[in-house]
C-alpha cells in the first residue's frame, strides 16, 4: 500500500493540535480539529472509491475489447482523465473492428478469386486432356514419348490441384450438400474399392474387407460423399504403403456407431501426429517422395462431420489405422 505523504502530513499536524488543545483544555477547538479530521478521512475514502470505479471501467472496457465484444461501458464527454481514456479505447476498438472487417473482406476476395481461377482452369484442362489422349497413339519416337509423358504428368498434377482446391472452396463455403439415404455401408465401401482397385493392383497391394458386424446395418448416409471419403483413405494407404502389402477394411458396429476402419502396412505416422494429419495442408514427417497437398484427410473429415460422425487415426505396429465413425441414429 502506498503511503500518501500529504495525508500523513495532515494527520501529523492535527495530532500536534490535538495534543496542544488537550494540554490547554480547549475542548471546542479540540472538537473542531477532530471534526475536520473526520471530514478529511471520509472525503479521501469517497475519492478513492470514485477513482477505483473509474479504473474498473477502464479495465472492463479493455477486457471487452480483447475478447472482441462490443464495448458497453458508458462514458460522459467530460474532461476527466478516465473519460478521455475510455473515449480513446472506444476509438481504438472502432478502428480495430474496421480493420478486421477490411481484412475479412480482402480474405474473402482472394478466396473467391482463387476459386474462380480454379473453375476457369477446368475447361482448358479438359481440352488438354482430350488432345493428349488423341496424341498418345501418334507418338512413336522414344524422346518425344518422354516429353509427352512429362506434359501428361504435369497436366495431371494441375488437374488434381484444381479439383482439390475447388472441393476445399466448396467445403468452406458450405456448398457441399449431404443427402442422406438409408443404405448398407458395405455397398458404399465397395464403390470406393472399385475406384482404387486398378491403382492398388499396379503396386501389387491386396485389399481385403473384413465384415465384423453382428447385425446388417443400414445407415443413413450420402453414398457419393462417403465413398469419396473411403476412397481418400484407401488412396493414402496405397500411396504410403510399399509394394506387395495388404490393406484391410474392417466394418464394425457398436450400440451407437458404425465404424469403417482402414488399416495398412505402410510407413505410418510419428507419435504426435494422430490429430495433426487432419489439418489442412499438413503433411506428415515420415513422407519422402510421395506427392500430395495435405488436403485429402481434411476434406474427408469435413464430409464425416457433415454426417455427424468423427474420425480417429491410430499408429499400429507397422502402418496406420484410420477409422470413420458414423452415428447409428436413423438406422434400420
Residue 294 contacts ligand ADP per CB under 6 A: yes
Question: Of 168, 188, 296, 303, which lies in the binding site for ligand ADP, with binding defined by CB under 6 A?
Answer: 296
The count of chain residues that interact with ligand ADP, using the rule CB under 6 A, is: 21
Residue 297 contacts ligand ADP per CB under 6 A: yes
CB-based contacts of 228, cutoff 8 Å, min separation 6: 192, 300, 303
Single out the segment in contact with ligand ADP by CB under 6 A; choices: 77-85, 92-100, 212-220, 279-287.
279-287
- Shortest Cβ distance from residue 266 to ligand ADP (Å)? 5
- Shortest Cβ distance from residue 300 to ligand ADP (Å)? 7
The footprint of ligand ADP on residues 105-124 (CB under 6 A) is: none
- Shortest Cβ distance from residue 192 to ligand ADP (Å)? 14
Closer by beta carbon to ligand ADP, 268 or else 309: 268
Distances (CA, A) of 156 to 74, 86, 126, 200, 233: 61, 59, 10, 18, 20
The footprint of ligand ADP on residues 217-276 (CB under 6 A) is: 236-237, 240, 264, 266-269
Distances (CA, A) of 129 to 122, 123, 126, 136, 282: 10, 10, 5, 10, 29
Burial 182-218 (b: 16+ CB within 10 A, else e): eebbeebbeebbeebeeebeeeebebeeeeebeeebb
- Contact (Cβ atoms closer than 8 angstroms) between residue 228 and residue 164: no
- Shortest Cβ distance from residue 98 to ligand ADP (Å)? 36
Question: Of 168, 277, 311, 324, which lies in the binding site for ligand ADP, with binding defined by CB under 6 A?
Answer: 277
Single out the segment in contact with ligand ADP by CB under 6 A; choices: 76-84, 92-100, 250-258, 282-290.
282-290
Longest C-alpha distance within the chain, in Å?
128
Single out the segment in contact with ligand ADP by CB under 6 A; choices: 53-61, 117-125, 209-217, 289-297.
289-297
Cell of 178: 449431404
- Shortest Cβ distance from residue 113 to ligand ADP (Å)? 24
Q: What 3-state DSSP class applies to 175?
A: coil
Distances (CA, A) of 159 to 106, 132, 165, 280: 26, 14, 10, 19
Q: What 3-state DSSP class applies to 207?
A: strand
- Whole-angstrom distance, CA of residue 111 vs CA of residue 215: 45
Question: Of 155, 257, 287, 310, which lies in the binding site for ligand ADP, with binding defined by CB under 6 A?
Answer: 287
Closer by beta carbon to ligand ADP, 111 or else 315: 315
- Contact (Cβ atoms closer than 8 angstroms) between residue 51 and residue 64: no
- Shortest Cβ distance from residue 287 to ligand ADP (Å)? 5
Residue 327 contacts ligand ADP per CB under 6 A: no
Residue 284 contacts ligand ADP per CB under 6 A: yes
Nearest to 302 by CA among 176, 190, 159, 163: 176
- Shortest Cβ distance from residue 160 to ligand ADP (Å)? 9
Residue 315 contacts ligand ADP per CB under 6 A: no
- Shortest Cβ distance from residue 268 to ligand ADP (Å)? 5
- Whole-angstrom distance, CA of residue 296 vs CA of residue 162: 13
- Contact (Cβ atoms closer than 8 angstroms) between residue 189 and residue 284: no
Question: Of 193, 295, 324, 326, which lies in the binding site for ligand ADP, with binding defined by CB under 6 A?
Answer: 295
- Shortest Cβ distance from residue 282 to ligand ADP (Å)? 6
Chain residues that interact with ligand ADP, rule: CB under 6 A: 236-237, 240, 264, 266-269, 277, 282-284, 287, 292-298, 320
Amino acid at each position: 500500500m502506498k503511503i500518501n505523504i500529504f495525508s500523513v502530513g495532515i494527520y501529523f499536524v492535527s495530532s500536534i493540535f490535538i495534543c496542544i488543545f488537550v494540554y490547554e483544555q480547549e475542548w471546542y477547538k479540540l472538537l473542531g480539529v477532530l471534526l475536520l479530521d473526520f471530514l478529511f478521512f471520509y472525503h479521501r475514502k469517497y475519492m478513492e472509491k470514485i477513482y477505483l470505479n473509474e479504473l474498473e471501467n477502464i479495465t472492463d472496457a479493455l477486457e471487452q475489447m480483447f475478447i472482441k465484444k462490443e464495448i458497453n461501458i458508458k462514458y460522459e464527454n467530460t474532461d476527466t482523465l478516465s473519460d478521455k481514456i475510455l473515449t480513446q479505447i472506444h476509438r481504438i476498438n472502432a478502428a480495430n473492428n474496421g480493420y478486421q472487417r477490411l481484412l475479412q473482406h480482402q480474405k474473402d476476395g482472394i478466396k473467391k478469386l482463387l476459386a474462380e481461377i480454379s473453375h476457369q482452369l477446368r475447361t482448358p484442362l479438359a481440352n488438354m486432356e482430350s488432345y493428349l489422349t488423341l496424341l498418345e497413339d501418334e507418338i512413336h519416337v522414344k524422346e518425344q514419348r518422354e516429353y509427352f509423358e512429362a506434359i501428361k504428368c504435369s497436366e495431371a498434377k494441375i488437374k488434381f490441384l484444381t479439383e482439390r482446391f475447388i472441393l476445399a472452396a466448396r467445403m468452406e463455403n458450405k456448398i457441399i450438400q449431404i443427402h442422406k439415404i438409408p443404405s448398407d455401408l458395405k455397398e458404399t465401401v465397395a464403390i470406393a474399392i472399385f475406384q482404387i482397385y486398378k491403382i492398388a493392383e499396379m503396386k501389387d497391394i491386396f485389399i481385403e474387407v473384413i465384415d465384423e458386424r453382428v447385425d446388417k446395418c443400414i445407415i443413413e448416409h450420402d453414398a457419393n460423399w462417403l465413398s469419396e471419403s473411403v476412397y481418400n483413405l484407401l488412396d493414402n494407404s496405397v500411396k504410403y504403403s510399399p509394394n506387395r502389402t495388404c490393406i484391410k477394411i474392417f466394418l464394425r458396429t457398436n450400440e451407437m456407431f458404425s465404424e469403417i476402419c482402414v488399416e495398412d502396412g505402410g510407413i505410418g505416422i510419428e507419435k504426435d501426429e494422430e490429430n495433426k494429419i487432419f489439418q489442412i495442408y499438413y503433411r506428415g514427417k515420415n513422407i519422402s517422395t510421395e506427392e500430395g497437398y495435405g488436403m485429402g484427410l481434411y476434406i474427408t473429415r469435413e464430409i464425416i462431420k457433415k454426417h455427424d460422425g468423427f474420425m480417429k487415426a491410430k499408429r499400429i505396429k507397422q502402418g496406420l489405422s484410420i477409422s470413420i465413425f458414423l452415428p447409428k441414429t436413423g438406422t434400420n
